[in-house]
Structures are given as structure tokens and as C-alpha cells.
A and B are shown apart, each in its own frame.
Chain A
């Protein structure tokens, strides 16, 4: 699937991802700062950890980018010595895969905000599945678990969906996205002027 990625695409994706990897580590402290509030207020912040996949995909718009981005961000976090250590690596793969599946479902041709939100939800779903396997959140009592889910999904939609989408919009204004996206056929047509 990633056969089609050129060196430029890969390098740009990984650089974006590692930049977010740094953000992820810093985000960890925000997350823990909210932990003592209890009642899963921290879960609302969780969505930030899915943002790399969406940002990278919406910039480069190619198959495989979302998965690669989430793995790279996690590896970056891992290599920089995040206290979550190897956990993030495992989570990264699953979250990236889930986000990727959404883009694939749209044949990598839709770049609407709704797609961003859907993929954020998918990545969140991936993380919840991992939590069941690893953190045994299934043992939480029902009302607590519900609260947990609502907080996490809402946060994902906000951070990984909406924020990522608008971040890319702002980046487009700086013209940087033209570097990695193919030139339009209009530009090619204009070569034949006069």
C-alpha cells in the first residue's frame, strides 16, 4: 500500500509526525495535570494523541500516510524516552491503522471535515480497544465507563478531527502544501500559452 509513497512523502510525513511526537510528550503533562480532577476529565485531552495521522494525511493526501504518521509519531515519542515507553508504540500502530481505514473507505479522495472527524472517531475506537486489552478498563463500573467513553470520544472529535482540519487549512494559506501535492492540470495546461 505504501509502495506509492516517494521519498519526499515519507520524509515529510515522518518530520510532521516527529514534530507531533514532541507535542505528544508535552501533552502528557497536560494530561496528568488534569488527572487529579478525577472523573475522567483527563480523557477529554486524549484525542490530541491522534492528531498526527489526520494532519499528515490532509497535507499529503496519499494512501499509507496516516498509518505511517501515527507510527512515526509514536516511535519518536518512544525514542525520546516518553514514560509511556513501549505502550505508545503499540497504541500508535492500532490508532494509525483505524484512521487509515477511514481514509481508505473514502478511496483517499475526500478531504472534507467530516472525514477528519470520522477518522478521529475511528482512531479513538482503536485506542479504546487497546485499553480493553491492556488497561482492563472493562472492569470499571458502568457509569464510570460511560463517562470515560464520552470524554474520550468528544475530545478526539475536537482535537484530532476539528483542530487537525483547521490546522491544515492555516498551513495551506502559507503555501507549503503546494510542495507536496501534485501540481494542478491547469498549471500544466498553461504551459501551452501563446
Chain B
């Protein structure tokens, strides 16, 4: 979500958000069905190209965003690699038992998680939530009640974060001394979570009332400020995956 991740617009931004979401979910299902490690690696490269070159983010931020990917990869693969079942033992030390089968299983699962992560982040970085929900209302006929609730809730996120500041200020005005250190983090969590949650609920309630006062109803035939349709980029997007995935699959079978 582009809260403060300002970025250049690329062709990925211009793809119809519903279509983008649909394609990504299809890709995920394909990923779940893949058991060929080579194909999985080709797949990862294909998606990685999109992420690295076309999210419109500055290189520095891309590299920064890459860190959690490694964590995801390592954490998912490691437990299977170390503790998985298998016959061909490569290494054994105490409880740790690495076998050939478990090693490849681990890598496969690791790549799978990595792919999910890259796909998800690519989507998040190139889609403005407001457009996504407008598109979902128009193309998928999502009930406006849900769509606008989501949009209103997402609007509240920066406000909630600001609320944290507000509560802190309020407490300071009342003479609660600011503390530092680990203990204070815990105390803060306790002191802030309840007011933040109850504040958010009150705010949500009021916004719902204000929305109804603005004649919001859940009839589906409404006009839209953002009319979101399809464009040539959608075709490019689909073709990109179809051709490259076929090529990747072919390559994997041939052992590239």
C-alpha cells in the first residue's frame, strides 16, 4: 500500500487491479502445484524481474525490501531441511538430520514462500488500494458496503498511527513522564493499545454514521469517480506470464 512509498508510475501501476489480483492468485495456485525445483527457480526469476525493474521504486528501497525475503526463504526452508524425513543421509548431528530428500523439499518450500512474498509485495507496491476497491466494485461487483468500509478503514491507518502520537501527547500534558528502555515499551503497549482500539472503534462508528448521512446505500448501480477499465497493459501482463512461464517450464524439463 502506498502510504508514503511514493514511486514512479510504471506499466504495472496501470494494469487493472482486479485483473492483477486475479492473475496473482492464479499464479499462486500454480505455484502450489509445482513440485519441480528447477521450474520453481525459473518461476522465481520471472517474477523477480517484474519486482526489480517495474515497481518504480528507487533501487535503495528495493534492496531494503529484499531483506525480509531472505528471512522468509531461510525460515521456511530451514526447518524442513534440518528436520525433514528422508533416506539418503547427507549430514547428521544430534537432532538435526539433513537428507537429500529433505534438502530439496526444503528448497522447494523456501522458493514457494519466496515467490508468494515477491508476488504480494509487487502487487502492494504497484496498486493504490482505492483503485483496487473501485475496480473490485466495477469488475467483480463487490458490494459497495464492503468496498467503502475497506477504503474508510485504510484511511484510518495513518490516523491511527497519528493517534499514537496524540495519546502520547495527551499523557505528557497530564504529566506522565516519558520513559525509555525495554520495560517502557511494554508499559506503553499496555497503556496505548486500549485507548487506540477504543478510539478506532468510536471513529469507525462515527464515520459509518457520516457515510449514511451522506446518502450512502449499498445499491450496486452507482456512478464511479474512478472508472477503471482494461487496457493494453493488461494483455502485456498476461502475455508476459504465459510466454515466460511456458519457456521456464520447457527449460526446466530440458534441465536448464
Contacts and interface: CB of A to CB of B under 8 A. Distances in A.
Instruction: Give yes or no for direct A-B contact (beta carbon below 8 Å).
Output: yes
Interface of A: 6-8, 10-12, 14-19, 22, 32, 35, 38-40, 59, 72, 75-76, 78-87, 90, 133-137, 139-141, 144, 167, 170-171, 174, 176, 179-180
Nearest to A17: B153
A11 B119 contact: no
Contacts of A22: 157, 160
User: Could you say which of A7, A19, A32, A135 has the most chain B C-beta atoms within 10 Å of its C-beta?
Assistant: A7
A180 B205 contact: yes
B71 A32 contact: yes
Nearest to B209: A8
B116 A139 contact: no
Nearest to A81: B124
Interface of A is mostly: helix
B153 A14 contact: yes
B75 A7 contact: no
User: Could you say which of B28, B69, B119, B120 has the most chain A C-beta atoms within 10 Å of its C-beta?
Assistant: B120
B84 A86 contact: no
18 contacts: A7-B145, A8-B205, A12-B201, A15-B156, A15-B200, A16-B204, A35-B78, A38-B82, A40-B79, A83-B71, A84-B120, A85-B117, A86-B119, A136-B105, A139-B80, A144-B83, A170-B194, A179-B205
Contact of B150 (A75, A82, A141): A75
B157 A18 contact: yes
Nearest to B75: A35
Interface of B is mostly: helix
B113 interface: yes
B117 A10 contact: no
Contacts of B69: 83
B121 A176 contact: no
Given A18-B156, A135-B80, A171-B198, 20 more contacts: A6-B208, A7-B145, A7-B149, A7-B211, A7-B216, A8-B205, A8-B208, A10-B145, A32-B71, A72-B150, A80-B1, A83-B69, A83-B71, A84-B72, A84-B113, A85-B118, A133-B32, A136-B109, A137-B80, A167-B197
B84 to A, nearest CB: 5
B102 interface: yes
Contacts of A40: 79
Contacts of B252: none
A140 B85 contact: yes
A135 B150 CA distance: 30
Contacts of B203: 15
B167 interface: no
B109 A135 contact: yes
B196 A174 contact: no
B212 interface: yes
Contacts of B109: 135-136
